[in-house]
A and B are shown apart, each in its own frame.
Chain A
Amino acid sequence: MVEITDVVCSLCGCVCDDIVLEVENNEVVKVKRGACSVGKSKLLGHERIKSPMIRENGELKECSYDEAIKKAAEILYKSRRPLLYGWSSTVCEADSAGIELAEDIGGVVDNTATVCHGPSVLAIQDVGIPSCTLGEIKNRADLIIYWGANPAQAHANHMKRYSYVSKGYWTAEGKKGKKLVVVDVRKTMTSKMADVFVQVEQGKDYQVFSALRAILRGHEDVVPDKVAGVPKAQLLEVANMVKEAKFGITFFGMGVTQSGARHNNIVNAIQFTRAAHLHGKWSIMPMRGHYNVTGFNQICCWQTGFPYSVDLSRGYAWYNPGETSSTDLLYREECDAALIIASDPGAHFPGAALRHLAKIPVIQIDPFANPTTEFADVVIPAAISGIESEGGVYRMDNIPLRLRKILETDYYVPDEEIVERIHAEVRALREKEAE
């Protein structure tokens, strides 16, 4: 039995890196410390895709890696409008290989942000974002707001490691010296811990941000008695807490990015942060979901100039979410093939987009079967990043960390290598045709 320390978790955007494992006979037998229950379950392992598969007559049939990779290359080579989607639950090296492939075949490359924090990116492009690393919050924050986010269930270590419950330099007493405000449309496990719970009517967060901004900028007289179901007295209470805080942070989740005014919510949330900054130090941060969704946006931007939804069909990068985002391409039935990696549009895309995705040839690369597997035509199982292969990832606060390899695999191939091998096959097909 071997104890392995400093294991970096490849589950959510928290990317906890202090996990201690026990490994015996190339298996994780115990998670001793550090991981939340969901992370633990991933580390301990569960049902895998056992073999590469190609669909024949409606059935997935097992085949070799070479056969599946060849088939995938043929699909992409023939395609006139390929979509290369996912990239958020894998490492930077795979993302980089994927962007190079997309560039070479003139595809559209997009990640899960498109149905998640894409609106946050659009808001940042409108007004910028005052933010910080998670350690800043751990050491300094005396007021924490979770807005449209439920970390107690979705990012289970977030409060303990980085925010409300954590202890740091100026926060040695942990939650004793801090205040927690939760804004949501319903009671959640997180809201139960809050000093103040603001229950806002569905889809009306924008109005609450506006009201708070008005109060923080000295215009409380324009705020009506009730805003989106929230009494003015409670808004004044929250605004007072904001004014008194020395260091505040707003964490926001998909409750705000994917409801009502979408990216306008986030613009307003950022403007609220700027207004709060007039009274003390304030920052704001999106609660990114997948462990490397942030990393894809980073790489895609330094390589193409744009963070997601990048159309490379013209030979240069064309970026116009709403036009070049995966779901919009699928609504318009424009794509004629898709490579789906490290994500599950089968579970998360809107029905209209899925209907077209189910019609076209789909290549799936993933360690685990998921609803996308149900309609994939080529399925290529991957080594699990952070367990069977190493690589770079970016935490939700843009801090880069490196996943470690914990276990050996003599069978599964890492994402990066799968993508590179597909690309090599595409080049071979092109050379063959040129002859």
Chain B
Amino acid sequence: MADGELLIRNGVVYDPINGVKGEKKDICIRDGKIVESVTNPKVIDAEGRVVMPGGVDIHAHIAGGKVNAGRIMRPEDGRKGVEAKTSVCRVQSGYSIPNTFATGYRYAKMGYTFVMEAAMPPLAARHTHEELVDIPILDNAAMPLIDNNWMTLEYIKSGDTDLLAAYVAWIIKATKGYGVKIVNPGGTEAWAWGKNCDLHDTVPYFDVTPAEIVKGLAEATEKYEMPHSVHVHGNMLGHPGNFEVTTDTYDLVKGIKPYRDRPAMHATHTQFHAYGGTSWGDFESQATHIANYVNDNDHVSIDIGSIILGDTTTMTADGPMEYSLYQITGRKWTNLDVELETGSGITPFMYSGKSPVNTVQWAIGQELALLIKDPWKVALTTDHPNAGPFIGYPIIISMLMSKKRRDESAEDMHKVIFDRTELPSIDREYDLNEIAIITRGMTAKTLGLAEHGKGHLGVGADADIAIYDMSPEERDAGKIQKAFLNTKYTIKAGEVVVKDGEVVAAPPGRTIFVTPECEQSLMDEMLVTLKDKFDKYYSVTFNNYPVQDAYLPHPFEIKAPMRG
């Protein structure tokens, strides 16, 4: 946090959470926060330029075991992004899996100041936190995987939702995590035996279904004043014809009353879950089906997981999915199953506009953003690096803002784009206010971070600000893309960290974690079962499991009491 005062003068401000839609305004900053007025500030002249709150990424894989397994496996990706150290910056490398330093610098250059690490294996949580500490500038948080854990499966089976809630509280606390992440519920446990699960299959040996897991965890989450809902990567990701499984999964939380003004489920990288057809041969977009559902219902929000063409590194706790992908490509494949909890797989992938399947996938992400009417239900993501690296966000922004650019790009794609997707027939263009919603307003609100100062520019908010070198009237897609790739200024907690597209300061970011507060008697009862798991089945001890405070040198705690 920077001491002193700063004034950003005459920018055209987009601050959707506070209803500011492109107004010429001054922004006053003191000691890292937005304030009403300043007396003797340094001045940044933003005359005629677009000003937004710092970007808030709701879902990306930037730190931890599988990200680094990707780096270890792919020196060829590392070499793509090498940049020398500077007086401010450490060495940089990587394109789809940049090193930790480059991750911080490149996000900051795009005007982002918060990123959610989307999947933290609890047993390896220390690793995730170690990497988060080494990502400069960005505030961050990480969501532990809780849906294939034996404790969860057993409590779902026995129907002890209170004890399940106690376990959820314990594991979020033990991992210094942010919320409940679900990835292929039941399917990853099945993968430990080389199998997989559909939504209503029975998980081998555990006698529960993925549908029961999702519902049970959503109920357990809402027993606390949790900032964020369950964050769901459902079953059958990437399978042709999975669109009905996707909306059936959304249906599971229909009756659940969320703690606050957010949906009871965030469904992530929806592009991968919006597939029609019965095989890769008749593969087609079902974005309309998903969009209609989201338009008609308020209990689910989504992020798009849009494709960036080119080479990337796919990685997910959905082990069986990565194995299928590797069987298709025959490229390298890494798998890391984690005892009693989860798994992960990693394999490189090339998205090509010449491929009919990739073309349909490419269209779906954009269709979702354009067909869902209310931008407060949609977030921009690429499920970095699965559908493409985060560095491609400006490409997607320019596509959503320009029908002309989409039409030009469609000409270069496989011709299936015209008969297996709706994209060419959609005329809608996003305006800058809507872009600000899907990149900061909606994401900060859905994550429950707005009241903690993220994603808006109201008095008291963190002085995290992006100033883009473009006028609000700009319509040239190429210029829009360029402006969103490198800011004129990025300000983090009141400090200028990027100027004219160069990183000029790299302060450490904070790690935000949630502490759900469970009734002690429930916790004690749950701990008897949990300690038995450690004694008999874990390969580490109960006392060595929780993440020590040393791993969070810049912590920010959000308490989540039990709901009355």
Known: A124-B73, A316-B84. A132 touches B336 (CB 8 A): yes
Q: What residues of B have a CB within 8 angstroms of the CB of A315 in the complex?
A: 84-85, 91
Interface check A225, CB cutoff 8 A:
no
Please determine whether A140 and B347 come into contact, CB atoms closer than 8 angstroms.
Answer: no
A400 touches B78 (CB 8 A): no
- Tier of interface size on chain B: 35 or more
Within 8 A of A (CB), among B398-424: none
Would you list which residues of chain A between 44 and 61 have a CB under 8 Å from chain B? Answer: none
A307 with B127: in contact, given A131-B334, A136-B192 (CB under 8 Å)? no
Which residues of chain B are within 8 angstroms of A401 by Cβ–Cβ distance?
126, 540, 544
Given A128-B347, A133-B539, A139-B537, are A316 and B72 also a contact pair (CB < 8 Å)?
no
Q: B68 touching A305 by the CB < 8 A rule?
A: no
Collect the chain B residues with CB atoms within 8 Å of residue A314's CB: 84
Q: Does B92 contact A (CB under 8 A)?
A: yes
Does B126 lie within 8 Å of A168, measured CB to CB? no
A302 touching B537, Cβ below 8 Å: no
Query: Is B311 on the interface with A (CB-CB < 8 A)?
Result: no
Cross-chain contact of A307 among B63, B72, B92 (Cβ < 8 A): B72
A304 B91 Cβ-Cβ under 8 A: yes
A 114-141 binary contact with B (CB < 8 Å = 1; else 0)? 0000000100111111111111101110
In the complex, are the beta carbons of B544 and A305 less than 8 A apart? no
Q: Which residues of B contact A306 (CB under 8 A)?
A: 71, 75, 78, 93
A303 CB-CB contact with B under 8 Å: yes
Within 8 Å of chain B (Cβ to Cβ): is A24?
Answer: no
**Chain A nearest CB: distance from B258 CB in Å?**
34
A168 to B548, CA, bound (A): 27
Number of residues from A at the complex interface, CB < 8 A: 63
**Is the CB of A325 closer than 8 A to any CB of chain B?**
no
Q: Given known contacts A134-B539, A312-B91, is B334 in contact with A126 (CB within 8 Å)?
A: no
* Partner of B333 from A6, A128, A132 at Cβ < 8 Å: A128
Q: Does A246 contact B (CB under 8 A)?
A: yes
Q: Do B337 and A6 touch (CB < 8 A)? A: no
Contacts of B551 in A (CB 8 A): 392
Q: Quick check: is B100 within 8 A (CB to CB) of the other chain?
A: yes
Complex Cα–Cα for A298 and B99 (A): 11
Give the CA-CA distance A124 to B335 in the complex, in Å.
11
When chains A and B are docked, how far (Å) is the Cα of A118 from the Cα of B202? Answer: 42
Contact B73–A317 (Cβ < 8 Å): no
Q: Is the CB of B72 within 8 A of A121?
A: yes
> Is there an interface contact between B192 and A140, defined as CB atoms closer than 8 Å?
yes
Residues of B within 8 A of A17 (CB): 540-541, 544
Cβ contacts A294-309/B at 8 Å (1 or 0 each):
0001110111111100
Interface of A is mostly: mixed
Shortest Cβ distance from residue B231 to the other chain A in the assembled complex, whole angstroms: 23
Q: Are B134 and A302 in contact (CB under 8 A)?
A: yes
In the assembled complex, how far is the CB of residue A397 from the closest CB belonging to chain B, in whole angstroms? 8
Q: Does A319 contact B (CB under 8 A)?
A: yes
Nearest residue (CB) in A for B542 is A6
A293 to chain B, nearest CB (A): 13
Tell whether, in the assembled complex, residue A398 and residue B127 are in contact, meaning their CB atoms are under 8 Å apart. yes
Q: Which residue of A lies closest to B333 (CB)?
A: A128
In the docked arrangement, what's the CA distance between A298 and B343, Å?
18
In the bound complex, CA of A317 to CA of B77 (Å): 13
- B101: nearest residue on chain A (CB-CB)? A303
Question: In the complex the two chains form, is B335's CB within 8 Å of A132's CB?
Answer: yes
Q: Does A281 contact B (CB under 8 A)?
A: yes
Would you give the 0/1 interface string for A264-285, flagging 1 where the beta carbon is closer than 8 Å to chain B?
A: 0000000000100100110100
Is residue B340 contacting chain A, with contact meaning CB distance below 8 A?
yes
Residue A80 is within 8 A (CB to CB) of chain B in the complex: no
Q: Is the CB of A92 closer than 8 A to any CB of chain B?
A: yes
List CB contacts (< 8 Å) of A313-344 with chain B: 314-319
* Known contacts A305-B93, A316-B91: A125-B537 contact under CB 8 Å: no
The answer to whether B194 touches A319 (Cβ under 8 A) is no
Q: Note all chain A residues with C-beta closer than 8 A to B36.
A: none
A228-269 interface mask toward B, CB cutoff 8 Å, 1 = contact, 0 = none? 000000000000000000110000000000000000000000
Encode B26-68 as 1/0 by CB contact (under 8 A) with A.
Answer: 0000000000000000000000000000000000000101011
> When the two chains form their complex, are residues A125 and B124 in contact, meaning their CB atoms are under 8 A apart?
no
Task: Looking at the assembled complex, report how far the CB atom of A387 sits from the nearest CB atom of chain B, in whole angstroms.
Answer: 16
Q: Are B539 and A6 in contact (CB under 8 A)?
A: no
- For residue A144, CB closer than 8 A to chain B, the reply is no
A132 to B84: give the CA distance in the assembly, Å: 35
- B130 in complex: contacting residue of A129, A317, A400, CB < 8 Å: A400
A162 at the interface (CB under 8 A from B): yes
Instruction: Kindly name the residue among A92, A140, A301 whose own CB sees the greatest number of chain B CB atoms within 10 A.
Output: A301
Once the chains bind, are A128 and B124 in contact (CB under 8 Å)? no
Enumerate chain B residues within 8 angstroms of A126, measured Cβ to Cβ.
332
A247 and B193 alpha carbons, distance in the complex (Å): 7
B74 within 8 A of A: yes
Query: Given the complex, which residues of B lie within 8 Å of A399, measured CB to CB?
Result: 123-124, 539-540
Interface: B391 (CB within 8 A): no
Residues of chain B within 8 A of A277, CB atoms compared = 194
Known contacts A127-B332, A305-B94, A398-B65; A8 and B130 CB within 8 A of each other: no
Decide yes or no: A6 and B541 within 8 Å by CB, A128-B347, A399-B123 being known contacts: yes
Whether, in the assembled complex, A5 has its beta carbon less than 8 Å from a beta carbon of chain B, the answer is yes
Q: Is the CB of A161 within 8 A of B91?
A: no
Q: Does B3 contact A (CB under 8 A)?
A: no
Does the CB pair B99–A302 fall under 8 Å? yes
Closest Cβ of chain B to A243, distance in Å, is: 13
Question: In the complex, how many angstroms separate the beta carbon of B60 from the nearest chain A beta carbon?
Answer: 15
Closest to B82 in A: A316
Are A125 and B73 in contact, with the CB atoms below 8 A? yes
Closest to A139 in B: B537
Q: How far does the alpha carbon of A403 sit from the alpha carbon of B336 in the complex, in Å?
A: 23
Q: For the complex, what is the distance from the CA of A191 to the CA of B127, rounded to whole Å?
A: 35
Decide yes or no whether B339 CB sits under 8 A from chain A.
yes
**B 454-486 to A, binary, CB cutoff 8 A, 1 in contact else 0:** 000000000000000000000000000000000
Residues in B neighbouring A136, C-beta threshold 8 A: 192, 337-339
Q: How far is the CA of A312 from the CA of B75 in the complex (A)?
A: 15
Which among A127, A133, A305 is the interface contact of B99 at CB below 8 angstroms? Answer: A305
B543 interfacial contact with A, CB 8 Å: yes
Residues on B with C-beta less than 8 A from A415 are none
What's the least CB distance linking B546 to chain A, in Å?
A: 10
CB distance from B529 to the nearest CB of A (A): 14
Known A-B contacts A17-B544, A162-B539; the reply to A103 vs B335 at CB < 8 A is no
Q: A136 vs B339: C-alpha distance in the bound complex, in angstroms?
A: 5
- A350: min CB distance to chain B, Å: 25
Residues of chain B within 8 A (CB-CB) of A121 are 72
Cβ–Cβ contact A135 & B82, under 8 A:
no
A402 with B548: CB separation less than 8 A: yes
**Residue A394 interfacial (CB < 8 Å):** yes
Which among B98, B335, B539 is the interface contact of A161 at CB below 8 angstroms? Answer: B539
> Which of chain B's residues have a CB closer than 8 A to the CB of A299?
130
Known contacts A8-B544, A246-B193, A302-B68; decide if A283 and B537 are in contact (CB<8 Å).
no
Contact with A along B91-109 (1 / 0, CB 8 A): 1111000111100000000
Instruction: Chain B residues near A74: list those with CB within 8 A.
Output: none
Report 12 cross-chain contacts, Cβ distance below 8 Å, ordered by A residue: A125-B73, A129-B334, A136-B338, A280-B194, A297-B72, A305-B99, A316-B82, A317-B91, A319-B75, A390-B550, A398-B127, A400-B124
User: Contact residues of B with A, CB < 8 Å?
Assistant: 63, 65, 67-69, 71-75, 78-79, 81-85, 90-94, 98-101, 123-124, 126-127, 130-131, 134, 192-194, 326, 332-340, 343, 346-347, 536-541, 543-544, 548, 550-551
Given contacts A6-B543, A247-B192, A400-B127, 7 further A-B contacts (CB under 8 A): A128-B326, A131-B335, A133-B123, A133-B539, A136-B339, A283-B335, A402-B550
Q: Which residues of A contact B (CB under 8 A)?
A: 5-6, 8, 17-18, 92, 96, 100, 103, 121, 124-136, 138-140, 161-162, 167-169, 246-247, 274, 277, 280-281, 283, 297-299, 301-307, 312, 314-319, 390, 392, 394, 398-402
